[in-house]
Amino acid sequence: MTEIRVRESLSEPGVVVNPDGGGLASRALLLACRGVVRPLIRHYPIHPVTMPLASTVVDGLARLRPHPAGVEREGVQLNGFRMEIVRPAGARRALRDGAVMYMHGGGFFICGLDSHRPVAAALARRTGLPVLNVEYRQLPSTPIAGSIDDCLTAYRWLLRHGADPARVVFAGDSAGGFLTFATALRAIASGLPAPAGLVGLSPALDLDCEAKRDYVNIGRDAYIPLSAMEQMVRYGASPAAQDGSHGTVHRIGQHGNGRGAEMPQHLRTRGVGQCGNGRDKGGAAPHTDAGYGGLDPALSPVNGDLAGLPPALLIVGEDELLRYDCELMARRLTAVGVPNSLELWRGQVHAFMSIVPGLPESRAALGRVARFVRARIESERAARTA
């Protein structure tokens, strides 16, 4: 078994926690993604007509995986979508003792319970807690706002069935990382209590693709091409997409002063961080002009009212395109006093811990997630008994 040397503490934002990089298996995965997966994603036409085909293929492949060992599953059917409670085998802990609500990734149009059961099971085994794996509705049947609706419904279900919000942690990868933060913001705006913590694994947190055009990792990411994100946003977050199903955009809150910290110099690729429209996307107000389909900035979690959020853990590959989102979120959380930790993983692909949970690096990352979850739940329990 490959030994992963991981820093146990973070002395500054965005610290690389595995300075030795990835092992042979991770390198092979990186090469496969760069040579096969990224070109496939770049050339696959993401369109409402083609989305169901991609979803069917991914679901079929996911069902070929053996069921994870050491866990028990219980299905839950809600109005329009389903969920699954994954518990450590033989565990007797109830939802009120603590739970993780997990939102899968997949660009808002692929993946589901089958594809993300392994990572949900890994978290259940490592935390000793039940994990609610949510299979929210996706494109093309509903826009991104509809996915947020379903995740909020899942949280309400947890609370109705005895879960203590102070012992619930939201977690998700990629699009699910977006939903992790968006659901927490919507919950608070709806008058619900905030969860105890948030975990974003390679999360997409800013839907404004223009903001990423000058980012240094745009050519380094081995998995996600910017063009794929643009297509996903076009069909899932534009006003036309919202009008097609819900009629309105659910605003999850506006960033307090509309400004974030500037993009650090080492993360710029030309000029002084200017994007194609001449605006500084690190320090200027969120993109609101009509040049990008009239995208409502309030749909992106980075632009939400972050002050009420609980502590957050962000994990992302050092060379990922979505490192931009994570760094922007970390800066804005810090600016409003929300404790957060941003971990950069060297030599790892997008959402590596959910794609292949069995990799040594994935196990190490999920171990850190489990420690964060336990610390959040135990700290809330201690605060109540103090």
Residue 267 in this model has a pLDDT that exceeds 70: no
Q: What pLDDT does residue 274 have?
A: 29
Confidence of residue 248 (pLDDT cuts 50, 70, 90): very low
Range of 9-23, 218-232, 268-282, 289-303 with top mean pLDDT? 218-232
Confidence of residue 78 (pLDDT cuts 50, 70, 90): very high
Q: How far is CA 308 from the centre of its chain?
A: 19
Residue 37 in this model has a pLDDT that exceeds 50: yes
Q: What pLDDT does residue 5 have?
A: 61
Residues 137-153 pLDDT 10s: 999 999 999 999 999 99
pLDDT mean over 218-242: 89
pLDDT mean over 275-297: 44
Q: What pLDDT does residue 142 have?
A: 96
Q: What pLDDT does residue 385 have?
A: 54
Residue 127 in contact with residue 115, Cβ under 8 Å? Answer: no
The verdict on whether 174 is a catalytic residue reads: yes
Q: What pLDDT does residue 211 have?
A: 87
Q: What pLDDT does residue 244 have?
A: 52
Following DSSP, what letter does each residue of 32-44 receive, concatenated?
HIIIIIHHHHHHS
Task: Output the average pLDDT for the chain.
Answer: 86
Residue 201 in this model has a pLDDT that exceeds 80: yes
Please identify which of the residues 26, 174, 341, 362 carries the catalytic annotation: 174
Q: What pLDDT does residue 15 have?
A: 87
Range in 86-100, 160-174, 359-373 with the lowest mean pLDDT: 86-100
Residue 128 in this model has a pLDDT that exceeds 80: yes
Q: What pLDDT does residue 93 have?
A: 81
The CA distance from 233 to 230, in Å, is 5
| Per-domain boundaries in the chain | 15-237+308-385
Sign of CA dihedral 251, 290, 333, 153: positive
Protein fold of 15-237+308-385: Rossmann fold (3.40.50)
Token reading at 134: 């949510």
The CA distance from 131 to 123, in Å, is 7
Q: Specify the residue for token string 């060297």.
A: 346
Residue 195 in contact with residue 170, Cβ under 8 Å? Answer: yes
The CA distance from 146 to 144, in Å, is 5
Give phi and psi for 83, each to the nearest 5. Answer: -140, 175
Confidence of residue 7 (pLDDT cuts 50, 70, 90): low
Token reading at 278: 């001449």
Residue 11 in this model has a pLDDT that exceeds 70: no
- Residue 297: name the closest of 348, 343, 251 by CA: 251
For residue 62, what are the CA distances in angstroms to 44, 55, 116, 355, 359? 19, 10, 8, 11, 17
Cβ-in-10-Å burial (0-12, 13-18, 19+) of 106 comes to buried
Alpha helices by DSSP H, listed for the chain, are 24-32, 38-43, 51-62, 113-127, 144-160, 175-189, 226-236, 239-245, 323-335, 352-355, 360-385
For residue 360, what are the CA distances in angstroms to 6, 18, 24, 113, 278? 11, 11, 10, 23, 43
pLDDT mean over 359-371: 97
Residues 321-350 pLDDT 10s: 999 999 999 999 999 999 999 999 999 999
Residue 134 in this model has a pLDDT that exceeds 80: yes
Token reading at 3: 């030994």
